Structure 1
Amino acid sequence: MRDGTASRTAMMVAAARAAHLAVDGEPAILRDDVVAALLGDAADELVGYHRAHGDHVVLWGTRALGVTRSRFVEDRIAASGVEQYVLLGAGLDTFAFRNSDVRVFEVDHPDTQAWKRELISTAGLAVPEGLEFVPLDLERGGLAERLAAAGFDPRRRTLVGWLGVSVYLSRATVETTVRAVAGLGAELVMDYMVPPGLRDGIGREYGAFADQAVVESGEPYRTFLTPDEAEALVAECGMRTRAHVGMEDAVPAGTWRRDDVLRPFVFSRILDATALT
């Protein structure tokens, strides 16, 4: 994203999470009942757009991708018993408002984070006691230092979620960030976008629209990885792959027995890795 502006893609993803409960049927993949309040006056218009045009691939695809990756990481947090959750590129994520058992460190570009804090205030939402805001441009490094200044405890079991972000960063920044997570001794759940040649038909159709949208928003895609490249990258950075899944396997199998338009497709994958140290 460009300095001085909040992330437009963060708004698009938040709108998709809000629309999921309003537009799609059961079973709900993710029950985020806070994000609509966070979106404030814009919620009705954004969700209304999904109501009117929600069967378009770029809209239902964004809903499916956004809620699936969030469900995966939130299920992993619940199953692993972590005490700290570091969310890189937090955007308008609301995990901290829906879960009080885990200390949350939201790391994001200063401009986007300031915008989110304004939305929280305008919505009249109370900032959870266990939520720490960590302003940081990942392209400039310094993750470990900023977390330490915010009270991060390296002795506590930690999971780092990095969702919908790596594709917007340079390959060098992706590697630097993974090394920093390994240095924390944390578990990492990240998603990454596969090259167009590895996508299925729906993935290529979705990508054609999504590519144009992100370019117009000023936040173009920059880094694509094959599955082998993703596993090699985390290994080179001092981490071991624990799980590596596509959309179909990222959530419980019954999730995809649906009557609405949502279905898994090949566009990105989720990699779960643990630090070797």
Structure 2
Amino acid sequence: MENKSLTALVSAFSRAYHAEHNQIKIFDDQLARQLLTDEEYENIASNMSQAIAFFQPGFAGSQEQALRRIVDHQLSPSPLGRAAFAEQALAVAATLGARQYIVFAAGYDTFAYRQPEWAAKLQIFEIDHPATAADKRRRVSALHLDAPSNLHCISADFRDPDWQDRVLANPAFDPALISFSSLLGISYYLPKDVFKQFLSAIASLLPTGSSIVFDYPDEQTFTSQAGERAQKQVMMAARAGEPMQASYSYSELEQMLEEADMLIYQHLTPVEITGQLFHAYNDSQPAHKITAFDNVNYCLAVKR
């Protein structure tokens, strides 16, 4: 966390690769490629394709075919699926009255720079660790993109007890406004007690009717019953210096949210994610089908 997030960079790479190589997309992030330098993009591509023996032993094919297989099978399902789920839910929330969009651990998220017309009524808050936030600002500046007038960037380390004060200190933030918060890719890397406190802290900032969307690893993630991809993802995260630390059963998560005064409004399992979010892409690419990541569920919760 002291340096720019490696997992965030790989997520940006997977969104960029998917957007560049497909006409019909699970999630279209047309700016992700621009945030990466050519050297970074090629280095990630090369490192991943050379790791085909780790991801899929016995694979036979070219380096480009190996890269496509790794991206579609291992790298992109979670970044694409959770982003699609979150932004679809955000659009509904905005229609129902949400006026603030809070992106926790924003990483290299590009929503603010490609926001649709309906997002103009939202105030967007990107909150991230100072190192990653500074790196993103540098990349955006290099692209000479105009900062949207409704975007507000807040540097905060969620391990510090004063991160809430940093949010409340932002003059654009209004704790009385119904808000939509995304916590994508966060639950994996926090101990259970810390994630529970984090959910409660976020809920305490928001009024009734606000919602939170996040992805989380299920209770089999760290067991021998986990899917092969999930087991390898655990190893990859550890090697990147960002080890996964917790997993949750549905009942455990439900109880945790109830204690934060929140109720589960929508919940998708991998089979449901593939059927609801990936079907159009899979119909268009029968030779390169993508299935939702093993042992990862999506959740949308609403504050009661």
Aligned to 1:7: 5
Aligned to 2:55: none
Name the SS for the 1:240 alignment partner.
Answer: strand
Q: Does 1:63 align with 2:82?
A: no
Residue deviations 1:165-186 (CA, integer Å, cap 9, x gap) = 1111121221111112221123
Name the SS for the 2:243 alignment partner.
Answer: coil
Paired residues in the alignment total: 272
Aligned to 1:31: 28
Displacement of 1:155 in angstroms is 2.4
Residue deviations 1:18-45 (CA, integer Å, cap 9, x gap) = 011223x453111111111111332355
1:110/1:135 contact within 8 Å kept: yes
Cα distance in 2 between the residues matched to 1:198 and 1:170? 14
Name the SS for the 1:155 alignment partner.
Answer: coil
| Amino acid in structure 1 at the alignment position of 2:299 | L
Name the SS for the 2:266 alignment partner.
Answer: strand
Displacement of 1:199 in angstroms is 8.6
Unaligned runs of 5+ residues in structure 2 are 50-63
> What is the 5 A alignment of 1:215-226?
215-226=238-249
2:229/2:294 contact within 8 Å kept: no
Name the SS for the 2:302 alignment partner.
Answer: strand
Residue deviations 1:201-259 (CA, integer Å, cap 9, x gap) = 8x621123222221111100011111221111111111111111124434447334342
> What is the 5 A alignment of 1:173-192?
173-183=194-204, 184-185=206-207, 186-192=210-216
1:168/1:219 contact within 8 Å kept: yes
* Candidates 213, 228, 236, aligned match of 1:213: 236
| Cα RMSD after superposing both structures | 2.4
Aligned to 1:106: 126
1:57/1:205 contact within 8 Å kept: no
Name the SS for the 1:85 alignment partner.
Answer: strand
CA gap 1:91/1:230 in 2 versus in 1, 3 angstroms: same
Q: Which stretch of the first structure deviates more once superposed, 133-142 or 192-201?
A: 192-201
Aligned to 1:240: 263
After TM superposition, the score normalised by the length of structure 1 is 0.89
| Amino acid in structure 2 at the alignment position of 1:15 | F
CA gap 1:55/1:200 in 2 versus in 1, 3 angstroms: farther
* Candidates 245, 263, 274, aligned match of 2:291: 263
Q: Which stretch of the first structure deviates more once superposed, 167-176 or 88-97?
A: 167-176
| Amino acid in structure 1 at the alignment position of 2:130 | P
Displacement of 1:198 in angstroms is 8.7
| Amino acid in structure 2 at the alignment position of 1:155 | A
Cα distance in 2 between the residues matched to 1:34 and 1:165? 22
- Bigger Rg over Cα: 2
Residue deviations 1:109-152 (CA, integer Å, cap 9, x gap) = 11111111111112222222211111111122334322111221
CA gap 1:104/1:199 in 2 versus in 1, 3 angstroms: farther
Aligned to 1:128: 148
Displacement of 1:59 in angstroms is 5.5
Displacement of 1:57 in angstroms is 4.7
CA gap 1:54/1:227 in 2 versus in 1, 3 angstroms: farther
State the percentage of identical aligned residues.
Answer: 25
Cα distance in 2 between the residues matched to 1:205 and 1:54? 18
> What is the 5 A alignment of 1:91-170?
91-99=107-115, 100-101=119-120, 102-150=122-170, 151-170=172-191
Aligned to 2:103: 87
1:166/1:192 contact within 8 Å kept: yes
Q: Does 1:204 align with 2:204?
A: no
Cα distance in 1 between the residues matched to 2:15 and 2:299? 21
1:138/1:173 contact within 8 Å kept: no
After TM superposition, the score normalised by the length of structure 2 is 0.81
